[in-house]
Amino acid sequence: MIRADVVTALADMVADQTSFTCLFNAPMRTWFGSHYVNRTVSCHGGIQCRFKFDNGYGASVIRHDHSYGGDCGLWELAVTLADGSLCYSTPITDDVIGYLTAGEVGLRLNQIEALPLVSE
């Protein structure tokens, strides 16, 4: 039996003309540029994509009915640390950033990847 949340996520991807590779932890060139997705999971009836960068930072990108912009088909992004915890002390943001298009998420991911190494 196929789970309804998986069918919904796949239908959303087709509607957005995006790539199914997100579900298989492969590079997603259609959604958010060429950033490698570390992990993708179902989240509150939507989807969460997790990214990790060599500088010790990462990102959590989510879209569901309760995320900022999710009800409009837009994305919410949070900067994370290597352990997955949210980071509120970067020049990019001191909170989550909502109502982002896929292109805007790609730009934010570029900014996170360009941050200096996380201080120990």
Q: What is the pLDDT along the chain (120 residues), one digit of tens a residue?
A: 555 555 555 555 544 444 344 444 444 444 677 776 766 777 777 889 999 999 999 999 999 999 999 999 899 999 999 898 999 999 999 999 999 998 899 999 999 999 999 986
Q: How far apart are CA 92 and CA 41, in angstroms?
A: 24
Query: Residue 11: its pLDDT value, please?
Result: 52
Query: Residue 66: its pLDDT value, please?
Result: 92
> If you ran DSSP here, which 8-state letter would residue 86 be given?
B
For the chain, give the number of residues: 120
Query: Residue 114: its pLDDT value, please?
Result: 96
Q: How far apart are CA 20 and CA 58, in angstroms?
A: 22
Domain ranges within the chain, ordered by starting residue? 4-113
User: How much is the pTM?
Assistant: 0.72
Query: Residue 33: its pLDDT value, please?
Result: 72
